[in-house]
Amino acid sequence: MSESPSLPHLSGWDADWAGLRVVVTGLGVTGFSAADTLAELGAEVIVLDGATSEKKRMDAETLKIVGVKDVRFGTEHLEQLPTFDAGPCQLVVTSPGWRPDAPLMRDAASRGVPVWSDIQLAWRLGARPGAKTPQWLVLTGTNGKTTTVTLLEAMLQADGRRAVACGNIGLPVLDAIRDPEGYDALAVELSSFQLHWTEAHGAEASGAQRSAETEQGRSLDLSPTASAVLNIAHDHVDWHGDFGGYWADKAKIFHSTRVACIYNAADPETEKMVREADVVEGCRAVSFTTDTPAVSQIGLVRSDDGDDLLVDRAFLDDRRHQALELGLRSDLGPVAPKHLVANALAAAALARAAGVEPEAIRQALRDHTPGDHRIQPVAKAADVLWINDSKATNPHAAEASLSSFSDIVWIAGGLPKGVDYDPLIQQIASRLRYVILIGTDSSQLRSSLERHAPQVPVLGGGAGEDETQAQLRSTDGAAAMRAAVSAANRSAEPGHTVLLAPAAASMDQFRSYAERGQAFIDAVAALMENQT
């Protein structure tokens, strides 16, 4: 992290962006929004992408219309920064996922060219002149981000505010801030990749940064109203180099927070992040818990009628003696697993930090509909329940669903992303009745099962060459899933749950976790049809 801010003169829509020489890496949703924004500002832009597709070619044509004339496809453009007609590159705006050790990023570092995320660019710009200036409510975590940010958006809207969920959830934050009317609040989901490329010097910045902030009247680094880390577990360690790098990037979200840093009372690492954060004076530390809350916590209280209450003991004046009821656990549905309750409490904490009324929070809880591919019931037949949790792309996410059921036939496997499976298997081994491993190479997961759940039969993940083993390893994801569902059907007994919770990424056999989940849904539907 540099001691002074990168390009300190660039803050606000009226800054001297015109003629700035910017390379945008990637022409996905984020890259397109960045290039489009920079073109509007009058910057000179070159877009680089190692691969092409029909959509990317169409997007390139659209960008030409708005002034981005130079879009280059192909890996040959990714070795070093291009030179503009007017001189060398002055800034890189990167799409999430571009690794720090990528040749282009190493080249930028060697030349001292700053690299920003789209989040950094959006914060520097702020709201359009004449539009509303929104509160930024930001959150990250290994798991639960999308559910939480969706709940937060609903809470803000139920309170009568113009608000939108954006960032890593799908709508680029640059598209949100360019809205002509503007928003009262932005519910921003941040990935560790985006945070890595976002500057975070903290509230106690160097003299050079403090001077620049005074001149511009606002922080050059992300300084949200409230921030939250839901949890932290081993994930993306291959991208970040090690868990320490992943942890440090996640922790950046708390720096310069102004009202409240929200952390998970059950996860000491998130509390440590808050303790070490350099925040704005007066910012509070508030935790959420699925147990009875203490002062400065939002949590769960057991009621006499058996329906737990979600309550606030943080954002009220007499928090030592009173609590505000925010809703009921049953508002989240007839079955509200612990992780969903935790996500709802985190969203409520962020909403309360922004002044949202309790009634609006309860209304949002009642209106909540669980998203696809996250502990999603698919079918029940012959007293066997089929559950799709394809969104469980790492062990921490898989643990939430595996802990919600007993007598499990587990379909798992895929790209492990450098994680350690042993803690997960040790925790849930007693719940497993049979395991079926998909993925082109799930030997790591199989090895962990053999060490810590030797009593559980495992199909797949080994070197066997029979037809079923080959199908489970096939790069044809749909065929692999059909083989897995067929094997699960043969193994499941009445009272069992067949659970797809891969604890791994999907890209070895599928384009996304959603495609993987849909393959499971389709395979189960075909099985049910054949059994009728």
Task: Classify each residue of 40-70 as buried b or exposed e, where b means 16 or more C-beta atoms within 10 Å of its C-beta.
Answer: ebebbbbbbbbeeeeebeebbeebeeebbeb
CB 346 within 8 A of CB 264: yes
> Is 168 within any annotated ligand binding site?
no
Question: What's the CA gap between 251 and 159, in Å, rounded?
Answer: 29
Question: What's the CA gap between 409 and 404, in Å, rounded?
Answer: 13
Question: How many of the other CB atoms lie within 10 Å of CB of 278?
Answer: 15
Superfamily of chain region 21-113? NAD(P)-binding Rossmann-like Domain (3.40.50.720)
Residues of the chain with pLDDT > 70, as a percent, come to 93
Task: Output the pLDDT for position 235.
Answer: 62
319: pLDDT strictly greater than 80: yes
Of the listed ranges 108-117, 300-309, 387-396, 407-416, the one predicted with least confidence: 300-309
> Is 55 within any annotated ligand binding site?
no
> Is 141 within any annotated ligand binding site?
yes
> Is 170 within any annotated ligand binding site?
no
- As given in the structure block, the two tokens for residue 77 are 């453009």
209: pLDDT strictly greater than 90: no
Average pLDDT over residues 21-25: 98
Phi, psi of 33, deg, nearest 5: -65, -35
Question: What's the CA gap between 268 and 255, in Å, rounded?
Answer: 18
Per-residue model confidence as pLDDT tens digits over 266-286: 999 999 999 999 999 999 999
Average pLDDT over residues 243-252: 88
**pLDDT band with cut points at 50, 70 and 90 for residue 465:** low
**pLDDT band with cut points at 50, 70 and 90 for residue 210:** very low
> Is 94 within any annotated ligand binding site?
no
Q: Where are the domains of the chain?
A: 21-113, 122-288+336-367, 376-531
Task: Output the pLDDT for position 218.
Answer: 65
> Is 142 within any annotated ligand binding site?
yes
Burial of 292 (C-beta count, 10 Å sphere; 0-12/13-18/19+): middle
Average pLDDT over residues 399-408: 90
Does CATH number 3.40.50.670 belong to domain 122-288+336-367?
A: no
> Is 198 within any annotated ligand binding site?
no
Its pTM stands at 0.77
Domain 376-531 CATH class label: alpha beta
Asked if domains 21-113 and 376-531 share a fold, the reply is: no
